Amino acid sequence: MSVTPKIAAIHVPNDLTQIEPADVFPEGGRQPAYQIIDVRAPVEIQRSGIPGALSFPILNDEERAAVGACYHSNGQAAAVALGVELTAPHREARVARWREAADSSERPTVFACWRGGKRSGIATQWLEDSRVSRVHGGTKAMRRYLMASLESHVARTETQVISGLTGCGKTELLHKLAKTLPQDILALDLEGLANHRGSAFGGFAEGQPAQQTFENSLAATVHLAAPRITLLEDEARYVGRVEVPGYLHDKIQKSPIILLEATQAERMDRIIHEYVLEPTAHSSRPQVRQELEINLKKLAKRLGGAQLRECLKALDFADDEERWFSPESHTPWVEILLKTYYDKLYNRAVERMTRPILFQGSADEIIAWFEAQS
């Protein structure tokens, strides 16, 4: 039962002087009501990005650093004057980029800087477009608003958790369900937002977002969906190096589970694809081989010396131009990894589990079960 999301009507306040964060991110709106142009420097956005915002800085990193140093030494007026001087050669090009973004957007546009002050104010003056305003309180206010909304949603809405052995396809199932679930059930992919598979071998070459960027994306996703039920994986407190907010992790640990089952062969095939074949498609074989060895050695205490040596020996055997791309070549070390590490870890967690099981079965059976509930 495929459901087409409904986009909430865009509310444009009469006073376009400053736009409130609640108007930019309408609860249940499915998407931001405004196109955001973030005029902060790239280094600031890297630390705390706002989801969906365009990064068109008024000052680059070097210019920002120079203006900041001037502010501390000589005060605000001197800093503003220096900023105008430094940006003068680039002003026309930067304004043209803002104008192009505003003209091509189907949504109204707002500028945002850190606190909604000088930089976004100057940007609106330079652009000279009455249709474009700025966010009251800037990105700091938007983050505060979204994080408060996330905590409120987690406290008052139902959560259901997909659990199962490593390699059973929990993320894959979550994505399939996202296409068929009713609009009031959100399939929340924490690993996707964290850009990490949530395991010792779960990293991606492009790396993870900063902690605040992850939290902002998480909060915006939940806030814009405003779900009755949130469905997500049984994640640990950390997904790679980013941390799931404590109140959400606590809710996950107390929520009922849906247990996904898969055969050992299916799990092996999925692990080999995700850990070996997929990374090699985006990197060199020696690089992937080296990273696998590093990750295996990190598990030395859990695997034990003998099992680790067996894994490394099997990995050495598979490290051949022809054998590398044959799943059967990787079966020996992946089988040890599953039985000796992942499965033991999961089984210990199951023994301590007190949460009720709503349903258990294969991916197809779980999808059919959800369809029967609606």
Active-site residues: which are they?
113
> How many helices (H) and strands (E) in the chain?
19, 12
Which of 42, 44, 56, 61 shows the shortest CA–CA distance to 111? Answer: 56
Which of 184, 169, 264, 268 shows the shortest CA–CA distance to 225? Answer: 184
- DSSP 8-state assignment for residue 324: G
Helix (H, G, I), strand (E, B) or coil at 23: helix
The angle, 0 to 180 degrees and rounded to 10, between the axes of the packed helices 264-272 and 327-337 is 110
Q: Which tokens hold the place of 180?
A: 């068929």
Helix (H, G, I), strand (E, B) or coil at 248: helix
Question: In which residue are the tokens 């301590």 written?
Answer: 352
Between CA 342 and CA 307 the distance in angstroms is 13
Angle at 28 between CA 228 and CA 221, to 5 degrees: 85
Q: Which tokens hold the place of 239?
A: 């997904």
Strand partners, 260: 361
Q: Which tokens hold the place of 356?
A: 């009720």
C-beta of residue 323 within 8 angstroms of C-beta of residue 301: no
Length of the chain: 374
Sequence-distant (≥ 6) Cβ neighbours of residue 299 within 8 angstroms: 200, 308, 337, 341
Q: Which residues of 69-104 are buried (b: 16+ CB within 10 A; e: fewer)?
A: ebbeeeeeeebeebbeebbeeeeeebbeebbebbee
Q: Which tokens hold the place of 4?
A: 């087409």
